[in-house]
Amino acid sequence: MHISWLGQTCVKLQTKNLDEDVNILIDGYRPKTGDFPRSFSPQLALYSKGMENAATLSQNPFVIDSLGEFEIKNVMVYAVPGNEENIIYKISAEGLTIVHLGRIKKALENGDLEKIMGPDILLIPVGDGQNYLEPKAAAALANALEPRIIIPIAHKCDTDPDAKPITNFITELGLKPEATEKKLIIKKKDLPQEETRLIVLEKEY
């Protein structure tokens, strides 16, 4: 699986199922500033806060912006309620489980935690302000969910200049970050067995 961060809470997953490449776009919202693709051609598009201000999509993808369970091209998607009308996505593909917390701004209740506990990879918004978790709450939630890999999203970048920098979250979490390129390429066999890894992606595009 390939995982790329495109700024804000926008993430692109590239997975292969039954010898077919499946591109999944999560939170493809058009930013007010900064570099961002003009259009996307995913097979699957997920939105955590509705489709207002969505980026242009071509090739008629399958769109999910409501709660439920979906199976598309051998990819399982579970859309579960977060808070403040935010949708959290749990995605299963290539034997990996990825949880994308969307644009949550406050901690989750215990009942909500149970639905997404123990993901292989956690995509968590850490940029504080009006749209995201503040760093201390983000670190506490990341520890509570017990993922194998933590990937912070929604921190300061050219499309989100008002968000807090990633360093605030790293300090609160207390894990040494692993520097990566703009894309994480990972298979199930690559997952850590004991420790939790913190991987910071550079913004793609």
Please check whether residue 163 is in contact with residue 128, taking contact to mean a CB–CB distance below 8 angstroms.
Answer: yes
pLDDT confidence band for 129 (50 / 70 / 90): confident
DSSP string, 98-144: EEE-TT--SPPPHHHHHHT-S-SEEEEE---TTTS--HHHHHHHHHH
Is the pLDDT at 120 greater than 80, yes or no? yes
pLDDT in tens, 12-68: 999 987 778 999 999 999 999 999 999 999 999 999 999 999 999 999 999 999 999
d(CA 35, CA 26): 17
Domain architecture of the chain: domains with CATH: 2-200 (3.60.15.10)
What confidence score (pLDDT) does residue 181 get?
A: 83
Tell me which residue has tokens 């890999």: 149
What would the mean pLDDT of 2-10 be, rounded to a whole number?
97
pLDDT confidence band for 110 (50 / 70 / 90): confident
pLDDT confidence band for 5 (50 / 70 / 90): very high
Six token digits for residue 183 = 């894309």
